[in-house]
Chain A
Amino acid sequence: MKERLIRLTAIVFAVLCVGFVLFPFFLMLSISLQTMSEVYAPSPVLIPKVPQFENYVKAMQNGNWARYFLNSALVTVVVTAISLVINSMAGYVFARLKFRGSRVLFLLVLTGMMIPPQVTMIPLFSLLRGMPFVGGNNWLGQGGIGLYNSYAGLIIPFLAGSFGVFLCRQFYIGFPKELDDAARMDGCGPFDAFLKIYLPLSGPVLASLGVLKFTGTWNEYTWPLIMTNSDKLKTVQLALTVFRNESEILWNQLMAATFLVSLAIYIVFIFAQKHFVAGLLSGSVKG
């Protein structure tokens, strides 16, 4: 009797939670298919009479959306790919190679994880804007705009994060030491050992890190807001806010665009949900 009551409560809460989370998304989809008179109707419309699929077409014609998607895709793919390479190598070094000062360096990496990006935001901006020899700058980094309004400016700061190094180190530290001994017997140097033994076994950690980096970069708003002002470099998140700034907000188109922008994340999520969850959880386990 008591057991059944507990199970019932769990089911009720589960339904409530799912409804609480999904209802706003349902409204987003519903409104993206409504006419503006349905949006403005005094009583809420839950299901549009005739689904207005052309809202999606109109939303994508409101600005150069092909370009925005391309920009976001480019930045996201490059950041994810480069991060995976440099973070896994650094993680391997911290897990396996002991050298003078390696502990201090790792401590610095941990500090980097705890620093809020707002602390580095302003100097990073002047540093990238004052980059010598690019964007019309002279050798002192003056006279031009440096990496302001450039892809490099959007990509570089996200390669410096240290969460990935930490994640990879935690993963590699669990590998049996015998692997290294075997590699040494066969005459492999540390880099060969990494390439031939560690990397082929890195699937799970690279998948987790990749999914987290992908979502994080795709969803980023603040840095592109600071680093660009040209329509040519607009990312999808910035482009969404353009609807907001118009005098009359076309809610149906805005919701259509919001759904399309989030779709990339949901597609990744459907295929890699397991790795996403694993990545979030591995950040929470202390070790």
Chain B
Amino acid sequence: MLAPFFAFFSVFMLYPIVINFYYSFTNYRLGQKKQFVWLNNYKNLFKDPDFLVSLKNTAVYALFSVLFLTCLGLFISVILNRRTRMVHAVRTVMIIPYATSMVAVSMIWLLLLDPTTGFINKALIALGMNVPPKWLHDVKLALPSLIFINVWKNLGYVMLIYLSGLQNIPGELYEAATVDGAGLWHKFRRITLPMIAPTAFFVLITTSIEAFKTFEQVQIMTQGAPVNATSTVVYQIYQRAFNDYRMGYAGAMSVVLFLVILAVTLVNVFWMKKNEEKNIW
């Protein structure tokens, strides 16, 4: 009964994971003989300006996406946290962008952010701004625009997770605190925050893993432009592997990406554990 799943899993998941590490040490190009080149790909990687800037962009993208999703998501969820039909309806509506494909979301925002035909700039001009920003065509604003779209798409998912965590906090805790004369801030700081910390931690991990893998927005909306301002690691992997067919080199990039994600996850886990021990919440 396990066989069908494990057949697929080992051939199309485990084997590729292992062989990818091997590829990253070769000069494998599609349709050519491979040679073992030891660490050459990795050495070249850290001299490749396109890759380095993509690594930086990805880190910025991940940092701000995660920051906004984890904090803003919690803030809104705490305010909305009531067991009413209204909150249930809001939760359902908020999940719509999450269920919509990134391609569709990218198309909608491509139009809204278009410097001349987009609604946002038309509205800004109507409000009296003479030279509205060029958004995705502006070196400084392109990456923040992508971050904003990512937050817009995933906020509902984050709120869903938070609201379910918040509704698991026993109401008696708040009642007892009210009897003791605790204010709103005090209740948030001493009850909500410690009780929601594991949920926040889950949100932190999932949103950061997702953010490090970002590709579709870049491929569809900007192609890395303007001047590599929005190029991400996965966009580089895609370009090197499926435009230049340098599978070995791209494989090395994917190993680096994997290590970065692993490191971020481990750091978070340790940080969480440490805080739990100290009980600083």
Contact = CB atoms under 8 A, between A and B. Distances in A.
Interface of A: 6-7, 9-11, 13-14, 17-18, 20-22, 24-25, 27-28, 31, 39-40, 42-44, 85-87, 89-90, 92-94, 105, 108-109, 112, 114-127, 156-157, 159-162, 165, 190-191, 194, 215, 218-222, 225-226, 237, 240-241, 243-244, 251, 254-255, 258, 261-262, 265-266, 269, 273, 276-277, 280-281, 284, 286
Looking at A20, A222, A266, which has the most chain B CB atoms within 10 Å of its CB? Answer: A222
Interface string B3-29: 011101101111111011001000000
Contact of A116 (B6, B164, B261): B261
Contact of B8 (A42, A156, A215, A251): A156
A130 to B, nearest CB: 10
B258 A115 contact: yes
Interface stretch (B46-54, B61-69, B104-112): B104-112
13 contacts: A13-B76, A14-B87, A40-B117, A85-B4, A92-B1, A122-B23, A122-B237, A122-B251, A123-B20, A127-B12, A221-B219, A240-B103, A255-B108
B80 A14 contact: yes
Interface in B94-116: 94-97, 99-104, 107-112, 116
Contacts of B96: 21-22, 25, 266, 269
Given A121-B241, A265-B100, A277 B95 contact: yes
Given A21-B94, A90-B5, A120-B17, A219 B23 contact: no
- Interface SS of B by simple majority: helix
Contact of B97 (A21, A31, A243): A21
Contacts of A40: 116-117
B35 interface: no
Interface stretch (B122-130, B136-144, B169-177, B188-196): B122-130
Nearest to A89: B1
Given A219-B100, A237-B101, A241-B220, 18 more contacts: A14-B80, A17-B80, A25-B96, A28-B108, A89-B1, A93-B2, A114-B265, A118-B215, A119-B16, A120-B16, A122-B237, A122-B251, A122-B254, A160-B12, A162-B9, A165-B5, A244-B220, A284-B164
Interface residues of B, number: 84
Contacts of B220: 221, 241, 244
Nearest to B92: A273
Contacts of B199: 284
A13 B160 contact: no
Nearest to B202: A284
Contacts of A44: 119, 122-123, 126
B202 A262 contact: no
A92 B2 CA distance: 9
Given A21-B152, A115-B17, A118-B237, A93 B9 contact: no
B82 interface: yes
B160 A277 contact: yes
B4 A13 contact: no
A219 B220 CA distance: 14
Interface string B139-175: 0000000000000100111001100100000000000
